[in-house]
Amino acid sequence: MTALADVSCPTEVSGAPDLAAVADAPALLLVVGADTLVPLVDGRSVPYANLDVAASAPALRSVADRVTEVLPLYASVHRGAGYLSQVSTALYEASRRTIGAFVGAREDDVTVVTRNTTDSLNLLAGCVPANADGTPGRVLVLDVEHHANLLPWQRAGGATVLAGGASVAETLSGLRTELARFPYALVAVTGASNVTGESLPVADVVRIAHDAGARVVLDGAQLVPHRGFSLAASDVDYVAFSGHKTYAPFGAGALVGRRDWLDAGTPYLAGGGAVRQVAVTGTQWQTAPARHEAGSPNVVGAAALAAACDALAALDPADLHVHEATLRAALVAGLEAVPGVRVVRVWEDAVDPVGVVTFSVDGHDPGLVAAYLSAEHGIGVRDGRFCAHPLLARLGYDAGAIRASVGVGTTGADVVRLVEAVRSYVEQGPATRYEVVDGCWAVADDPRPVPVGSGLEGLFATAAAGFLADAAGCGPAV
């Protein structure tokens, strides 16, 4: 199917906020790729404005330096007698301790190195104790969650999905009421929404759940890199987070929390390293964390994540908060000043959201807006349903929306550039022609070159094309 952009444009826009105050705000930390130039359809090249941090954050420069430092030391882990094997084992276990300390692990907590938040929550889903009658332990989850903190509980059985209310107070009241109806083993809740950056007050959720005899797992994917978090201080039982959202590449994440469930739970992978003794008649399994880390571990990924944790921990929390809050406030105010632009919110009384802002442009396909921002302004955002289908449906965005997100590598100039680009789209419309190819918006006859040696034969203006978009399951509802 091919469709051309049909953009009707108002000619006058008024009430724009003064963005000059944030235009010169610098990044807090250096990230790899901050000076990367990307081509535009008009033949120019501009520095890439990465406002898709909520999906995957760029690597910190200090993380890249650490990876370069440890790569010559890379060898087998845990079962090698050679010198470099011993060094790699020490590096891996030291990284584990750093990762746990970063989220305030208690003395008896376990840190399991995983692939990402999704991996961590799937692992924990296999460790929730069954009821006395053998049925799956009950898990209560809200409909505000993205799929990583929803699908594992649905698949494991015993999950109840509770619709959030219009306010934080109403949502907490609903949580309290539901927990009084049945004995729940676990409450799974987001630390910060990957759609709006909003959150429920963790202390209130923990108190309500613990009073009802349930444990709490926090999806920290968006919270941990942006605000910091402590298991010990919050009394949360488990936290899951991802390295790729914490400025560390190489596919490592973590599940950190109370030992008893992890020691007794079904081993996440069956294989070497997770066992004490194997015979043809049966297997004796290790306790956690080895119980859930079968196979050769991702030592470079763990080292990268540990380096990112160290870099973020060294920041003054006040500086981190002010930087992100300032950029987010400017982004929201700037977007809301553009006629026809609506910023998405879950709760009317949410406070202190992280730097994730989702918006829509009335009458315009989110995929087209995102393709335009990339092709004509060199800005990276995310469009679609952000793997949070139930929430987007409840809020009335079945066709998706556009998400901009900031982090420690974001500058005020990046935010100003996005706001001005959206304003230009509304006032003037695209300067080039776009078409829908295999369900995704793309530049018609795209003239932009691809990086030399990349092996790519084409460049797509949106995150995925064709069957990839369907596989991602984050496009408009069909």
Alpha carbons 344 and 196: distance in angstroms, whole number = 7
Answer yes or no: do 166 and 245 share one domain: yes
Answer yes or no: do 293 and 348 share one domain: no
Answer yes or no: do 33 and 102 share one domain: no
Domain assignment of residue 461, yes or no? yes
Using one digit for the tens of pLDDT, what is the confidence trace for 105-146?
Answer: 999 999 999 999 999 999 999 999 999 999 999 999 999 999
Q: Of 256, 281, 314, which one is at a domain's C-terminal end?
A: 314
Using one digit for the tens of pLDDT, what is the confidence trace for 351-398?
Answer: 999 999 999 999 999 999 999 999 999 999 999 999 999 999 999 999
List of residues 6+ apart from 107 with CB closer than 8 A: none
Domain assignment of residue 354, yes or no? yes
Using one digit for the tens of pLDDT, what is the confidence trace for 213-266?
Answer: 999 999 999 999 999 899 999 999 999 999 999 999 999 999 999 999 999 999
Q: What pLDDT is stored for residue 159 in this prediction?
A: 94
Q: 93-102, 271-280, 449-458: which range is least confident on average?
A: 449-458
Mean pLDDT value across residues 319-329: 96
Domain assignment of residue 285, yes or no? yes
Answer yes or no: do 306 and 341 share one domain: no
More confident residue, 466 or 152: 152
Residue ranges of alpha helices (H) inside 157-290 are 168-181, 202-211, 224-227, 231-234, 259-264
Tokens of 449: 């070159």
* Contact status, residue 212 vs residue 361, Cβ threshold 8 Å: no
Q: How confident is the model at residue 19 (pLDDT cuts 50, 70, 90)?
A: confident
Q: How confident is the model at residue 455 (pLDDT cuts 50, 70, 90)?
A: low
Query: From the centroid of its chain, how far is CA 305?
Result: 15
Answer yes or no: do 308 and 329 share one domain: no
Q: Report, in angstroms and rounded to the nearest whole number, the Rg of the chain calculated over CA atoms.
A: 23
Mean pLDDT value across residues 332-343: 97
Q: How confident is the model at residue 475 (pLDDT cuts 50, 70, 90)?
A: low
Alpha carbons 470 and 168: distance in angstroms, whole number = 33
Q: What pLDDT is stored for residue 439 in this prediction?
A: 86
Using one digit for the tens of pLDDT, what is the confidence trace for 34-70?
Answer: 999 999 999 999 999 999 999 999 999 999 999 999 9
Q: How confident is the model at residue 456 (pLDDT cuts 50, 70, 90)?
A: low
Answer yes or no: do 327 and 194 share one domain: no
Alpha carbons 125 and 240: distance in angstroms, whole number = 12
Alpha carbons 201 and 122: distance in angstroms, whole number = 24
Rounded mean pLDDT of the chain? 92
Using one digit for the tens of pLDDT, what is the confidence trace for 386-411?
Answer: 999 999 999 999 999 999 999 999 99
Answer yes or no: do 167 and 270 share one domain: yes
Alpha carbons 33 and 39: distance in angstroms, whole number = 14
CATH assignment at residue 39:
3.90.1150.10
Q: What pLDDT is stored for residue 221 in this prediction?
A: 98
Residue-by-residue DSSP string for 394-430: HTT-TT-EEEEE--TT--HHHHHHHHHHHHHHHHH--
Answer yes or no: do 263 and 375 share one domain: no
Answer yes or no: do 186 and 262 share one domain: yes
Q: Of 280, 314, 348, which one is at a domain's C-terminal end?
A: 314
Closest CA to 226 of 30, 409, 25: 409
Select which of 309, 387, 440, 474 is catalytic: 387
Residue 463 has pLDDT above 50, yes or no: no
Q: What pLDDT is stored for residue 267 in this prediction?
A: 96
Alpha carbons 178 and 135: distance in angstroms, whole number = 19
Residue 2 has pLDDT above 90, yes or no: no
Q: What pLDDT is stored for residue 5 in this prediction?
A: 38
Give how many domains the chain has, as a whole number: 2
Q: Of 259, 288, 314, which one is at a domain's C-terminal end?
A: 314
Residue 3 has pLDDT above 60, yes or no: no
Domain assignment of residue 232, yes or no? yes
Residue ranges of alpha helices (H) inside 267-377 are 299-313, 317-336, 366-377
Element (H, E) at 338: none
Alpha carbons 392 and 148: distance in angstroms, whole number = 15
Using one digit for the tens of pLDDT, what is the confidence trace for 157-188?
Answer: 889 999 999 999 999 999 999 999 999 999 99
Answer yes or no: do 383 and 439 share one domain: yes
List of residues 6+ apart from 366 with CB closer than 8 A: 360, 383, 384, 399, 400, 401, 402
Domain assignment of residue 9, yes or no? no
Domain assignment of residue 476, yes or no? no
| Active-site residue flag, 9 | no
Q: What pLDDT is stored for residue 442 in this prediction?
A: 93
Residue 453 has pLDDT above 80, yes or no: no
Q: 274-288, 394-408, 442-456: which range is least confident on average?
A: 442-456
Domain assignment of residue 477, yes or no? no
Domain assignment of residue 223, yes or no? yes
Mean pLDDT value across residues 6-31: 67
Tokens of 79: 């079962």
Q: What pLDDT is stored for residue 454 in this prediction?
A: 65
CATH assignment at residue 111:
3.40.640.10
Answer yes or no: do 249 and 388 share one domain: no
Residue 370: give the domain boundaries.
Answer: 19-58+317-469
Answer yes or no: do 266 and 353 share one domain: no
* Contact status, residue 254 vs residue 120, Cβ threshold 8 Å: yes
Residue 180, SS3 per DSSP: helix
